[in-house]
Amino acid sequence: MDSPHKPRSFSPNLFFFILLVSSNLLTFFISNTFKNSSCSLYQQTYKAIATTSLNTAIPFVVEPEIRDDAVHVSDKPAADLDLPSEFLAFTSPQQLPFGVNPNFNSDKLIPPVGRPCTMFPDLLRRYMSYKINGSCPDDELLAQKLLLKGCEPLPRRRCRPAAQQEYVEPYPLPESLWATPSDSSVVWTAYTCKSCECLINRKKNQKAFDDCKDCFDLNGREKTRWSSKKGAGLDFSIDEVLAVKKAGTIRIGLDIGGGVATFAVRMRERNITILTTSMNLNGPFNTFIASRGVVPLYISISQRLPFFDNTLDIVHSMHVLSNWIPTTLLHFLLFDIYRVLRPGGLFWLDHFFCVGEQFEQVYAPLIDSIGFNKVKWVIGRKMDRGPELNEMYLSALLEKPLKNSW
């Protein structure tokens, strides 16, 4: 016969209560024991990274990561990559001092650099070889060579660039707009000419090809370019183009490959701000542009335009956009121009050069595919090398649709 006094079973609720209290006590003990040491460990690690970045390369690189909320860092030694230590110091993930930044969705910052930079390690090594906190090499030609090979943007450097020996302050505005700057405003090492006088006369004295050979003569063709009140044929005038829109609504814009920025100067005289992209192809174009009192952008035609969508009133380009650009790249570029123009903005394609059959078969359909409205469309023969070559120009004024541009 069973006993009437059965042993009482252990309550599950009591068991879980004891377990919860024990775990909390253990957590409290651990946190008090290690809280100071963890902070110290973080500070030591951060100091080590900072010290390393000042002297040597950080010995790891970013590799592809499946997750998009974290940066995967490989432990692959930098020496195995055969890349300059300063390049790796710049491009390696940098720890953010305050931890995860919600804007980056990461606790690290990865500086941007052109992907093809690593395809030219010898050039890159020369470019990134310098004394930290010292003077940079006088290597403008090397830098431009890297940039034109696709290393764009170039990596930042921790050195001071080559500068003029005895710099003279520029002319004040508005005098600077049409004044030839002092020779002391230019570092001449990278150029055939060593003075502004040489640049002005090189059309007469140099037989070799130079980009925009007569641009530096501000009293020559530049003085009359776009200055007439009314255009003729392929040569639209600025006033003619501005008259297409309501007065005052063309305010800011871009000139792609604008030589010495005479277009920007003409527009500034009309209270319109134009930035000018230019390379320094055997001439100090960017320095010369800045000396005139307008803003240069040292970027190639391969670079994505550094403007937000739907912001510019006008984009202009003369001669630069032509059939020398690979068709696919040109297609991307035209869509990039469309992107940065606001609805109702104008694209002035000034003297686009190609051969007759190319125009009908390639370029007219390509331009049509972008989605611009045609305001002006003028085709003319290019006769300077003879009619048998069937060369031609297109000058067009195109408008991004004011409505339904997306």
Structure token digits, residue 315:
């984009």
Contact present, 317 and 398 (Cβ < 8 Å): no
Q: What is the mean pLDDT of residues 201-208?
A: 79
Give the dihedral sign, CA 113/114/119/120.
negative
β-pair type (108-109, 94-95)? antiparallel
291 has a pLDDT exceeding 90? yes
Given a contact cutoff of 8 angstroms between Cβ atoms, the answer to whether 256 and 317 are in contact is: yes
Q: How confident is the model at residue 381 (pLDDT cuts 50, 70, 90)?
A: confident
Mean of pLDDT values over 38-66: 35
pLDDT at 387: 77
Residue 172 vs residue 203, higher pLDDT: 172
CA dihedral 368, 371, 372, 373 (to 10 degrees): 90
**Above 80 in pLDDT, residue 55?**
no
**Does 101 share its domain with 242?**
no
Domain presence at residue 366: yes
CB 295 within 8 A of CB 234: no
Could you tell me if 297 and 365 lie in one domain? yes
State the pLDDT confidence band at 20, using cuts at 50, 70 and 90. low
pLDDT at 70 > cutoff 80 = no
State which of 149, 165, 197 marks the end of a domain: 149
Q: Which pLDDT score, from 0 to 100, does residue 24 have?
A: 52
CATH at residue 260: 3.40.50.150
Q: Is residue 49 part of a domain?
A: no
297, pLDDT greater than 50: yes
Residues 6+ apart with CB under 8 A from 231: 237, 240
| Averaged pLDDT, 181-197 | 95
Predicted confidence (pLDDT) at residue 52 exceeds the cutoff of 70: no
Mean pLDDT, the chain, integer: 83
On whether the CB atoms of residues 49 and 58 are closer than 8 A, the answer is yes
What is the bridge-based pairing of β-strands 341-355 and 312-318?
Answer: parallel
Q: Is residue 167 a part of any domain in this protein? A: no
Could you count the other beta carbons within 10 Å of the beta carbon of residue 259? 24
One domain for residues 141 and 280: no
Which structure tokens are listed for 390?
């069937």
What is the mean predicted confidence (pLDDT) over 19-36?
48
Domain check: are 137 and 274 in the same one? no
Question: Is 27 contained in some domain?
Answer: no
Instruction: Give the separation between CA 105 and CA 220, rounded to whole angstroms.
Output: 55
Per the model's pLDDT, the better-predicted residue between 321 and 57 turns out to be 321
Tell me whether residue 29 is in a domain. no
pTM of the model: 0.79
Strand partners, 315: 254, 347
Same domain, 110 and 211: no
For residue 317, is it within any domain?
yes
pLDDT over 70, % of the chain = 79
> What's at 154, amino acid-wise?
L
Residue 372 lies in a domain: yes
Task: Please check whether residues 135 and 184 belong to one and the same domain.
Answer: no
Domain residues for the domain of 285 are 175-400
pLDDT for 213-262, tens place per residue?
889 999 999 999 998 877 779 999 999 999 999 999 999 999 999 999 99
- Kindly compute the dihedral angle of the four CA atoms of residues 175, 179, 181, 182, in this order, to the nearest 10 degrees: -90
* Same domain, yes or no: 348 and 259: yes
Q: Are residues 295 and 369 in the same domain?
A: yes
Q: Which two tokens stand for residue 46?
A: 């951060």
The pLDDT value given to residue 382: 83
Distance CA 395, CA 265 (A): 21
Distant-in-sequence, close-in-space partners of 101: CB < 8 Å, separation ≥ 6? 107, 109
Residues 272, 389: one domain? yes
Q: Are 141 and 181 in the same domain?
A: no
- Is the per-residue pLDDT at 37 higher than 90? no
Residue with the bigger pLDDT between 16 and 320: it is: 320
- Structure tokens given for 209: 């090809």
Name the amino acid, one letter, at 291. Answer: S
On whether residue 55 sits in a domain, the answer given is no
Report pLDDT digits (tens) over 108-142: 999 999 889 999 999 999 999 999 999 999 999 99
pLDDT at 13: 53
**Would you call 274 exposed, middle or buried from its count of C-beta atoms within 10 A (0-12, 13-18, 19+)?**
buried
44 pLDDT band, cuts 50/70/90, is very low
Same structural domain, 183 and 279:
yes
Same domain? For 121 and 212 the reply is: no
Determine the average pLDDT of the residues in 26-38.
44
Q: Mapped to the 3 state alphabet, what secondary structure does the chain carry?
A: CCCCCCCCCCCHHHHHHHHHHHHHHHHHHHHHHHHHHHHHHHHHHHHHHHHHHHHCCCCCCECCCCCCCCCCECCCCHHHHCCCHHHHHHHCCEECCCCCECCCCECEECCCCCHHHHHCHHHHHHHCCCCCCCECCCCHHHHHHHHHCCCCCCCCCCCECCCCCCCCCCCCCCHHHHCCCCHHHCCCCCCCCCCHHHHHHHHHHCCCCCCCCCCCCCCCHHHCCCCCCCCECCECCHHHHHCCCCCCCCCEEEEECCCCCHHHHHHHCCCCEEEEECCCCCCCHHHHHHHHCCEEECCCCCCCCCCCCCCEEEEEEECCCCCCCCHHHHHHHHHHHHHHEEEEEEEEEEEEEEEHHHHHHHHHHHHHHHCCEEEEEEEEECCCCCHHHCEEEEEEEEECCCCCCC
Counted domains in the chain: 2
